[in-house]
Chains A and B, each alone.
Chain A
């Protein structure tokens, strides 16, 4: 657990994904999911920022889902453009950022992280 703090955790199986979601929801932690693809240039553009945000917001869980690897998850979450960031709090989607929009992503995480710790 401690080793995962401050990291972006890659979910390579549907089981791992479900488990991480449940864990985050139980702990009432803010979850930030990055739906990404290996062939997506904009995903590579924003990856360093996401890693930095994961180091900053250690109270939040940062998950990464490759849309080719977990196709059904991407479909269920209606991901059509990459990257898509979904912010979840206690099982509810509270924000969605489509595209590598640095300021918008930072602002969304800051907003929800503030209310989560309050």
Chain B
């Protein structure tokens, strides 16, 4: 293990807003001007490298991961030593100018590879929760912070939710659907040969956009959801990010391929009606990780069958389920955290 390297593990923040004026919902947060978005990202310490929108949402590839802007929802995911929680204050401010009020906040992350390199408030989960408690308005009164364990002390899932208990669902632009979940996958110890594909060739004469497109095709990332429109970017000398858009559903992948601290993440919105087995197997085949965690967030009560299905999807590919933890969050659904390790490394 390297003494210090790039922190692949992302911090993820999801904020939901509401308004008493339904006409605001149609465009909502998408009306925030770009200078304001830049200010939010400056607070976090990252920038936009590429972006695309469809009729449902805007997707930005950032210098450190991704940003998704829906009319009443924003998802920011940032890696490295970014200060993600510092985006909450400016976001609440700019949303307020549009007549939108915060009604739900969810913060999640895995366990950092280099925790000592993190700046405040990301110095510890305790510091993060204290910062969140201070920053979030008092109307979000249903709150809970939880560290979900695995068998290995170095792999935990950190979750903090805050909710006003009333607006988050009824004012969502999407119809409330019990079958929809968000799946966050974190992978470490990537297969070194596969990880090489996320390095650029020196002087390839390509732009980050065109090199990214090449990686998407070369690695088979475009086959995870062939219907999705992909906005991809390859960093110099290595690293890759992509956002997928399929109607109002997003997916996103980020790769830090350097040996010693290699990391890849995959996140998507899924439905029990999807071919989740295909998606999971494809992701595992692209990276062949030594360790993988899947955390699944449900709107309401989780469907036991699906996370069992997830485990049985990846087990034939040599990943063994080592732990499974579940927790409930007040007015913010259930989270299931599963960890897997490759059999080849079980010795």
Contact = CB atoms under 8 A, between A and B. Distances in A.
Contact of A82 (B31, B48, B52, B69): B52
A29 B15 CA distance: 47
Interface string B201-221: 000000111100000000000
B209 A45 contact: no
Contacts of A40: 30, 53, 58
Contacts of B69: 41
A109 interface: no
Interface string A76-95: 00001111000000000000
B37 interface: yes
B37 A80 contact: no
A80 to B, nearest CB: 6
Contacts of A98: 52, 229
B34 A45 contact: yes
A40 B56 CA distance: 10
B312 interface: no
A41 B37 contact: yes
Given A41-B51, A42-B58, A45-B51, A99 B231 contact: yes
A82 B54 CA distance: 6
Interface residues of B, number: 24
Interface residues of A, number: 21
Contacts of A99: 50-52, 231
B15 to A, nearest CB: 16
A98 B243 CA distance: 13
A41 B209 contact: no
B250 to A, nearest CB: 13
Nearest to B30: A39
B27 interface: yes
A104 B209 contact: yes
Interface in B35-70: 37, 48, 50-54, 58-60, 69
Given A40-B58, A41-B58, A42-B58, A100 B30 contact: no
Contacts of B51: 41-42, 45-46, 99-100
A37 B207 contact: no
Contacts of A44: 33-34
A12 interface: no
B52 A103 contact: no
Nearest to B59: A42
B32 interface: yes
Interface string A22-59: 00000000000000010111111110000000000000
18 contacts: A41-B32, A41-B69, A42-B59, A42-B60, A43-B53, A45-B60, A81-B52, A81-B54, A98-B229, A101-B207, A101-B209, A102-B50, A103-B207, A103-B208, A104-B207, A104-B209, A107-B207, A107-B210
Interface of B: 27, 30-34, 37, 48, 50-54, 58-60, 69, 207-210, 229, 231, 245
